Structure 1
Amino acid sequence: MQLHARAGRAVLVGHDGTAEREVDPRSLALPADLGDALHEWAQVALALVPEDNQPVGGVAGDLVTRRGRQLAGRLATELGMPVSYTDPVSGEVLEVAPAPSPLPDPVEELPEQQAEPAEPTPWGTGLTVTAVTAAVVVVAVTALSSSLAQASPWLAVVANLVVVGGLSPSVWLARAVPTWRWVALGVACGLPIAWVLLLLSLLGPHS
């Protein structure tokens, strides 16, 4: 199939098996803007090439040639077959192949992230640390509270409140730290035990 510009019209010339025929590009299943662009190109070519077929060169002629090749390439792509393009300025015949179909972007396969195995919880060691910490807290708080309670029970209460207020922020922050969470648990368990023992010791003499 050949693309020509004749009498201000773009025509496609091909052989249907019995005779050579001319076809208007707009009669084919092509985008409407492509058919209009082909005819506009043919009209400009007619203005540049006189009736004696002596081409007019220069910048205008180069533009018509390049525009014709561009449209021939697009036409070949739409038809899915090579198109012979006859340059109306130089008379040269070129075969324009359809543009290759764009390859899909390769999907980069990301390596599967292997989940790191969770470390086993050291229950034995952790509970041992908790028990030791709780025992230290019980002894320290009981001894301090007993000494202050001899002077005034209210003084012991105030002292315990001060101890709780000072330790609470640290215990709260340490609960999420792998090692210190066992210490925090020991402190949280030791304080109530110390208060119970202190209460029993204060109530004992009066019973």
Structure 2
Amino acid sequence: MELRVRGDRAMLAGGVNAHEVDPRSLALDADLADALHEWARVASAVRRTGSGEGGDVVSRRGRQLAGRVAESLGVSVSYWDPVTDRTLVVPAPEREPVAPRASRLTRLIGSRPGVDERTPWGTGLIVAVFLGVFVIVAMLALVSTLATETTEWVGLVAALVVSAGLAPSLWLGRRLPIVRWVVLGVASGVALSWIGVLIIVF
């Protein structure tokens, strides 16, 4: 891509045949396209005077606009200076690498930012499984007892109260390095216990 001046207008040339196009026809901001044409008019006026006065300002402004075009289009831009008749190349800006997306399990369990820690999968999963089984047994025992001694609806309400009461604490502790395994086990136990709760109630 090359930035040129034709008459009083700025043109961008690119492709195999170096076809010139108006900046407004490209994916550029309207303000940038207007600034390019304004710069071209000033550059043409400076060249017509032949005095060279203001040439440094025109050249500096042209390099600045070429850099903005390179940043907007993501390509290198050759800038033809209409005052000095020299061609400069403005390289495309380097794009920052995109950080890899965290896995679904990592987003669920969470991790402390900026801390290099090895995940204790073995110990953590053992704790999570133990607590999950404990919560399932406790929840089903509670609902079964209430459903037998009173009515099924009382057991259902009790299960709802327990689940709603645990939810805020589980949400707050999901990113703590050790507590997150407890959260995983308890949350899994509560979710799985609802299968038994619905069977008991209905």
Q: TM-score range by the shorter chain?
A: 0.3 to 0.5
Q: Normalising by structure 1, report the TM-score.
A: 0.45
Over alpha carbons, which structure has the higher Rg?
1
Which structure carries more relative contact order (alpha carbon 8 Å, separation 6+)? 2
Q: Normalising by structure 2, report the TM-score.
A: 0.46
